[in-house]
Chains A and B, each alone.
Chain A
Amino acid sequence: MKIHEYQAKELLREYGAPVPGGYMVTTPEGAKEAAEHYETCVLKAQVHSGGRGKAGGVKLVHSPAEAFSCAENLLGKRIYPHQAGPDGKLVSKLLVTEAVDVQKEFYLAVTGDMENAGLVIVSSAEGGVEIEETAKTRPEAILTIPVSPMTGYRTYEGLPVAASFGLDAAQTKELHALLRSMVRLYLEKDCSLVEINPLVLTKEGKLLCLDAKVNFDDNALYRHPEIADLKDPAEEDPMELRAQAQGLSYVHLSGNIGCLVNGAGLAMATMDILSAYGGSPANFLDVGGSATAQKVKAAFEIVLSDPGVKAIFVNIFGGIMKCDIIAEGVVEAARELGISVPLIVRLEGTNADKGKEILRASGLSIIAAGSMAEGAKLAIGAAK
């Protein structure tokens, strides 16, 4: 789960990290009032995407009046950061924050190290740019330092970072305190990323978190209701939200063949086979390894609510869940929902023949496919 910059900064502040003050506003009037607290300040569009600055989502303003007009220009508009995809992001919240005189910019993050079942500190003395970019062009400029989830941060782990940043003794102490806060936040709130980019050294020689990004492990949200509450539904795909509420795993894509599959691996493979034969999947959808007729119906409703869908490909490998049960769910959903696009169904595994018979006997125009490849080809043909 992702949260906004202003929320990430509030969390970091709670954990004792040096974060500049600011106000989250949703109106030009609010921006003007907030700007009255500062001589110069920065308006930052609060959207879940990097690259906001280049997309015009970050503005330096010198007066409350300028803050008002600038906010008027940003709020309710879309910005198009390169990371955000072709639809861009709608700006409905701004962070008004103090402008800071910067001496140096760094990159500092704590993230998961899956291969070693732990965490890593990732740092670079070249901040302000995306770490992926640095990784490509100057990988030697990146330090990665493992941290154990059993012990948390230990001071010696941060020393190479301080050295690479060229910090003096007082600043090194600040860095240790910051890293301790970041790791504690990561471990206590089940984060998947705590990223400060840029971390800056101010003209006064102090460390300050100028931007912050904090992501969380979805599987652990049950034990952090206060974090789950930070979710901004406006940032999520509405169909993905609906699917989540139904316990379905769904990812919205841009193609025209709706997919309904049991199991994540087979669901990915189904997208792949459609693409390999020249088709274009409209979604990833896993109804679960043990799908019920009810879940199948809910899945159909979500797939059908995508206006781009011109055909539906149901690809089921019945294991413990039997194909006849799935077939009954498909028939029931097709009847109740009045599916108007071609429906191609491939059933394999337990009771596949019984399932096919149920589809045939239904009298509905369901196209039964003998194999995954045949089903994919039929679906592609039907979607044209």
Chain B
Amino acid sequence: MSIWVNKDTRLIVQGITGKQGAFHTEQMVAYGTNVVGGVTPGKGGQEVFGVPVFETVREAKEKTGANASVIYVPPKFAADAVFEAADAGISLIVCITEGIPVLDMAKVMRYLAGKDVRLIGPNCPGIITPDECKIGIMPGYIHRKGHVGVISRSGTLTYEAVKQLSDRGIGQSTVVGIGGDPIRGTGFIDTLAAFEADPDTYAVVMNGEIGGSGEEEAAAFIRERMTKPVAAFIGGQSAPKGKRMGHAGAIISGGKGTAAGKITALRKAGVAVAETPDRIGAALEEAIRTAGVYGACVTCEKVI
């Protein structure tokens, strides 16, 4: 089992004929993701790595039975791409695009409210259920099938965490990059709740960072609702106040959103917080040993 994506996911790629879209379509197809179609207005009828291109998302969905979409279009057009996918009845939308204006995302979220649509991202690496379905830009080969869920606001730091787990023989159920923007479709709590409900996930790693209050709210959720062990790392402990650290959402403003505040909240909720980013795997291992699920979480060969 897993959350949100699996071998039955039928994916379309919005912006499939662009440089990023085409490159990652090839990578996703090679990984084994069921990419059933792509969309680029004006390029309907073409093929990209054997994947048929359609004019609109609606047409792609009607002809292929797609139930998920990934967006690789430039920031100017990304919000409209989400609207289009939602209007066409796609229930899982993964938006990789970085640099979407905040007000565009605010309108997107208002539009999606109450609809049966899950948006992951934007400004994220995507979502992967190892050996079944890779949607996004992450390097597939570092992942191993298993029972630890991973949630992260960043890209390469997620890969770092996943590699540390895989090296310890600890496979992953699903890895979700929720993105580095201040307004995101799916947050920590939605993802934690899904992992808590997934019988095949035994523990969770969450990578947070400075800015916003998502980690503090996640800490409250973990304390009240989670029975599964959680390990965490919070990036930006050494970041200065008032400076945006690469991600649009990674900024300490008005004394709020500090790493120290988030770490304290998570520790109070019983989360094993890694002091340094090289110890994410170690923190998780300690947490699952304490919880008595270490043996069950070892699903692949240890290399360290």
Once the chains bind, are A268 and B101 in contact (CB under 8 Å)? no
A10 at the interface (CB under 8 A from B): no
Once the chains bind, are B155 and A265 in contact (CB under 8 Å)? yes
Which range contains the number of A residues in contact with the other chain? Answer: 35 or more
Interface stretch among A39-47, A271-279, A329-337? A271-279
B250 at the interface (CB under 8 A from A): yes
Provide the residues of chain A in CB contact with B180, threshold 8 Å: 264-265
Which range contains the number of B residues in contact with the other chain? Answer: 35 or more
Provide the residues of chain A in CB contact with B155, threshold 8 Å: 263-265, 289, 319
Provide the residues of chain A in CB contact with B259, threshold 8 Å: 272
Once the chains bind, are B156 and A268 in contact (CB under 8 Å)? no
A218 to B183: give the CA distance in the assembly, Å. 15
Once the chains bind, are B278 and A317 in contact (CB under 8 Å)? no
B237 at the interface (CB under 8 A from A): yes
Partner of A281 from B75, B159, B210, B238 at Cβ < 8 Å:
B238
- How close is A133's CB to chain B, nearest CB, in angstroms? 10
Provide the residues of chain A in CB contact with B102, threshold 8 Å: 112, 114, 190, 192, 217, 219-220
A304 to B165: give the CA distance in the assembly, Å. 35
Among residues of A, the one whose C-beta sits closest to the C-beta of B23 is A320
Among residues of A, the one whose C-beta sits closest to the C-beta of B214 is A115
A68 to B84: give the CA distance in the assembly, Å. 60
Partner of A265 from B105, B110, B158 at Cβ < 8 Å:
B158
Provide the residues of chain B in CB contact with A372, threshold 8 Å: 160, 277-278
Which of A131, A219, A270, A372 has the largest count of B CB atoms less than 10 A from its CB? A219
Provide the residues of chain A in CB contact with B249, threshold 8 Å: 114
Provide the residues of chain B in CB contact with A118, threshold 8 Å: 106, 110
Which of B99, B104, B180, B245 has the largest count of A CB atoms less than 10 A from its CB? B245
A284 at the interface (CB under 8 A from B): yes
Provide the residues of chain B in CB contact with A192, threshold 8 Å: 102
Once the chains bind, are A284 and B207 in contact (CB under 8 Å)? no
B109 at the interface (CB under 8 A from A): yes
- How close is A104's CB to chain B, nearest CB, in angstroms? 24
Once the chains bind, are B106 and A149 in contact (CB under 8 Å)? yes
A219-B100, A268-B236, A319-B138 given as contacts; is B106 within 8 A of A117 (CB)?
Answer: yes
Once the chains bind, are A348 and B101 in contact (CB under 8 Å)? no
- How close is A113's CB to chain B, nearest CB, in angstroms? 9
A and B contact pairs by CB, cutoff 8 A, 20 listed: A187-B103, A217-B101, A251-B240, A263-B246, A264-B155, A264-B245, A265-B209, A265-B235, A266-B277, A268-B157, A268-B236, A268-B246, A268-B250, A271-B238, A273-B276, A275-B237, A289-B125, A319-B155, A319-B156, A350-B141
